[in-house]
Amino acid sequence: MTGMPLLRVAGLSKSYGRRVGCTDVGFDLWPGEVLGVVGESGSGKTTLLNCIGGNLAPDAGKVVYDTRADGLRDTLAMSEPERRMLMRTDWAFVHQNPRDGLRMAVSAGANVGERLMAVGARHYGRIRGAALDWLERVEIAAERIDDRPAAFSGGMQQRLQIARNLVTGPRLVFMDEPTGGLDVSVQARLLDLIRGLVRELGLSAIIVTHDLAVVRLLADRLLVMKDGRVIEAGLTDQVLDDPQQAYTQLLVSSVLQV
């Protein structure tokens, strides 16, 4: 681990007209660390993630990333080609709805290969080899490589989306409700897979979710958001076991114990 954070977010704000998306959010993300962002619907979690991930332009703030080539750079001040290059090589974005992150009209293999081709791979055999390798790693049978994602179950689509994103070997993964809309047993397998990949590849990740069980399992550190602000931050176990803010206490006590 280096002495530098991988990502430093400072003073990030975004509003939609008079409605507040998120206000003055700041944190550091260290290499290999998984950060969870929790909060109720409408608390600004997804806005925050989209602003950091380059899908939305924030109104104010800095997103400084430790690029491989030239060290710390403010991604918001980068030129668009640079930022888009970063987004499809060193970063990955896993959408809540796999339909937003996949190309539904082309086969699973082409979906996984797209990022490779986008960075200049022009050898069909090697692209297909990499696609097969990644399908196996996310537990999708090799014979499904030429099927379209529409023929996949929700859990498989989500795993395909993960494979498609990780194929270029990114260092930072953004996940927006990765388990949303899946039933619990599929959720458990997906979480297991994500946890394995994150540990094995040494990925850093920011995971936005309203499901406390997800962050308990995956996240090292936690941010709790309410009304666009971070109201509590700390180690996951610390925040969940000993919540300080009234809202966090409410959130933790709202989880149904079975």
Give the binding site for other proteins (CB under 8 A): 80-81, 84, 103, 105-107, 109-110, 113-115, 117-120, 122-125, 127-128, 145-146
Nearest approach in angstroms of CB 87 to other proteins is: 11
Nearest approach in angstroms of CB 125 to other proteins is: 5
Nearest approach in angstroms of CB 119 to other proteins is: 7
* 152 alpha carbon, distance to own chain's centre: 21
Who's near 61: CB < 8 A, 6+ residues apart?
A: 9, 10, 11, 12, 13, 24, 25, 26, 51, 76
Q: Which is nearer to other proteins, 18 or 122 (CB)?
A: 122
Nearest approach in angstroms of CB 127 to other proteins is: 7
Q: How far apart are CA 203 and CA 175, in angstroms?
A: 12
Nearest approach in angstroms of CB 101 to other proteins is: 15
Q: How far apart are CA 243 and CA 205, in angstroms?
A: 23
Who's near 53: CB < 8 A, 6+ residues apart?
A: 87, 91, 93, 174
Q: Which is nearer to other proteins, 80 or 200 (CB)?
A: 80
Nearest approach in angstroms of CB 117 to other proteins is: 4
Tokens of 222: 């936690």
Q: Which is nearer to other proteins, 36 or 53 (CB)?
A: 53
- Within 10 A of 99 (CB to CB), how many other CB atoms are there? 13
Give rounded-to-5 percent helix, strand, coil for the chain: 40, 25, 35
Beta strands 19-29; 60-67: pairing state: unpaired
Q: Which is nearer to other proteins, 44 or 101 (CB)?
A: 101
What DSSP string runs through 183-244?
A: -HHHHHHHHHHHHHHHHHHT-EEEEE-S-HHHHHHH-SEEEEEETTEEEEEEEHHHHHHS--
Q: Which is nearer to other proteins, 146 or 183 (CB)?
A: 146
Q: How far apart are CA 102 and CA 111, in angstroms?
A: 7
Nearest approach in angstroms of CB 129 to other proteins is: 11
Q: Which is nearer to other proteins, 102 or 197 (CB)?
A: 102
Q: Which is nearer to other proteins, 70 or 80 (CB)?
A: 80
C-beta separation of 116 from 139 below 8 A: no
